[in-house]
Amino acid sequence: MTSVINVLLPIFGLILAGYVGRRSGVLGEAAAGELNRFVVWFCLPALLFQATATASWSALWQPGFIAVNVLSTAAVFGLTILWRWQSGQHPIDATIDGLSAAYANVGYVGIPLCVLVLGDPGLAPALIATLVVVCVLFALAIVTVEILRQEDGGVWRPLGMVARALMRNPIVVAPVIGGLWAAGGIPLGAPLAKFVSLLGAATTPCALVSIGAFVARPLSGATDRGLGGLIALKLIVHPALAALLAFGVFGLDPLWGTAAVLLAALPTGTGPYMLADFYGRDLTVTSRVILWSTVGSVVTLGACLVFVAPMNGGG
């Protein structure tokens, strides 16, 4: 439990910094949006490029773990979209809600938590989950939103228009370029490596401060739009599916199975907030899912450590 709290406290601190900055007037009214645009157009693309350009694909090829991670995440994403759509949400908002329920904070919480709990061997599953979430799930959400935006005009547009929109999206382009860079076997030179490392490292703090600044704004109207359900999907349903698949279907060994459950039980990361702002959607629910799932994960991650970590020899 101490490990969980130590990893999560800095997240609260960064959100609080944004909140206090906005409430005190140090940050202006446009701070949340401007910070988030900086993250989407500069920081996150640099992080994604670095992750794919420097990945050791052979060491990360773990089919069983990848299947558990992809299937549990995709199931939560798809089920949430269907639920929110049936509840009357606009399809684009339903897609972002689906991302909120499935997008685990693997980079900022998952990597240090897995290393703390599982030791150095815990780094590999955390890196795989990071690539799945930021490259596969995020890209799937963007493709879905782009397709729905074409339909939003009332006429089905050719897929070529969707492809062109994706090609202009920095979050899609950056990992593709990184993957091509890695496939070409070209090492990152020291200046480029340092540049993308510094820029990528700003992703999480800037995004969390942006969330705090947004949460500090007065609420206009009120609606939780299924806030509790989204948090339950992220903190309870997602790890339960991962546990079922890891131990009941794919029979992963204790270390990889434990990692799969812990990574699925993580709170929501900043990706859904960034995507909602990028497409000009309402940020109220998304920001609160991130905030309150982070608070709730102290309990759910602690429960996972109690029931799952002993399978790895005591954690």
Q: In this model, does residue 154 exceed pLDDT 50?
A: no
Residue 103, Cα to own-chain centre: how many angstroms?
4
User: What residues does each domain of the chain span?
Assistant: 2-9+41-213+224-308
Residue 33, C-beta contacts closer than 8 angstroms, at least 6 positions apart: 210, 277
Q: In the chain, where do the E strands start and end?
A: none
115/221: higher pLDDT: 115
pLDDT, residue 299, reads 85
Axis crossing angle, helix 31-38 with helix 203-215, rounded to the nearest 10: 160
Q: How confident is the model at residue 155 (pLDDT cuts 50, 70, 90)?
A: very low
Short-list 104, 79, 105, CA closest to 94: 79
pLDDT, residue 315, reads 45
CATH of domain 2-9+41-213+224-308: 1.20.1530
Report helix, strand or coil for 27: coil
Helix H or strand E segment including 70: helix 63-86
Count of CB atoms within 10 A of residue 218's CB?
Answer: 4
Short-list 38, 69, 51, 58, CA closest to 256: 69
User: DSSP character for 312?
Assistant: G
Residue 136, C-beta contacts closer than 8 angstroms, at least 6 positions apart: 70
Q: In this model, does residue 81 exceed pLDDT 80?
A: yes
Short-list 212, 204, 226, CA closest to 271: 204
State mean pLDDT over 95-102. Answer: 94
Cα 177 to Cα 193: distance, rounded to the nearest angstrom: 14
pLDDT, residue 310, reads 56
**Above pLDDT 70, what percent of the chain?**
84
